[in-house]
Amino acid sequence: MNEEESKIILAEFSKNLIKIRKKQDKSQEETSGLELSVRNYQKIEKGESFPSFKSLLIISKNLEIDPSILLDIPSIKKFTDSKTKKSKNPLPQK
């Protein structure tokens, strides 16, 4: 992933997060909860930093959604699709 792809993914993630939070009429404080500082949450929502895996789980728990919903953005799908097509050893299907 190059720098440009990373910026696009972060921007789309932030936009998706804000949309979900506002749809649920939750504040940033409610969404960050007690386990994640509001300032760190704000950085994620502003697109200044990627959430850690732990932060992603905290946010999804506080929004009462599956974490995959937060990651359901076009640029991630496009990025993973292009990488899967290039892979010589794709993951086995279940």
Side-chain-side CA neighbours of 50 within 13 Å: the count stands at 8
- Give the model confidence (pLDDT) of 80-93 as tens digits: 666 555 555 555 55
Q: Compute the distance between CA of residue 9 and CA of residue 71 in angstroms, rounded to an integer.
A: 9
Predicted TM-score (pTM) of the model is 0.80
* CB neighbourhood size of 6 (10 A): 13
Checking if the pLDDT of 18 tops 90, the result is yes
